[in-house]
Amino acid sequence: MKRLSLILTLVAFVGAFALPVWAGSDRPAADQLIKNYYDRQGEAAPQATYTYLVDLVTNASSGGWGSVFVLTNYSSMVRNHIQGYVVPKGVNPGSELVVDIWLNPYEVKYIDLNQLGLGNENGWSILWSTIQDFGCGVLIYNTDPNQAGILWEHPWYWVAN
């Protein structure tokens, strides 16, 4: 009997850790977004692409929270074309919001995600430029006097060749 309870305990313990590995994705739109990004880059001529992935963008406007993308062009001479998508939580693939922005040299743009259409939810975002690197981050703020606060979210960054 002790051996049986030990085996059942071991199976339950292993199952608790293995289940998340075998479970399906809880963010199919974000997974599809990244897959589409790689497919799109595979069709183009190989070139350096500077990419930022934001894994959580909160925009709970009903609670006083809002999010603003802060995008910066580092170059003093070249305009930079920034493209990408924002995927609200729970949407189906193909329902992402499009980001398509040109930045002049040394320009900084602030994009309110509520005006972009994120609404009152969380989301994922992927932004890239094939021209040159750029600064990217999300400023999360609260205007409620009872919950005043501000947070800077720095995204994941990589260069694809």
pLDDT score, position 21: 43
- This prediction has a pTM of 0.68
pLDDT score, position 20: 44
| CA–CA dist 154, 87 (Å, integer) | 17
CATH architecture type of domain 27-160? Sandwich (2.60)
Q: Nearest Cα to 80, choosing from 97, 98, 96, 100?
A: 100
The alpha-carbon radius of gyration of the chain (Å, integer) is 20
Q: Nearest Cα to 136, choosing from 118, 148, 122, 154?
A: 154
pLDDT score, position 80: 94
Domains of the chain, residue spans = 27-160
**pLDDT per residue as tens, the chain (161 positions):** 556 555 545 555 444 444 444 444 455 665 666 666 666 655 544 456 889 998 877 777 667 788 899 999 999 999 999 999 888 887 877 788 889 999 999 999 999 888 888 877 788 888 999 888 999 999 988 877 777 778 888 888 877 65
Q: Which amino acid is at 73?
A: N
Q: Which amino acid is at 151?
A: L
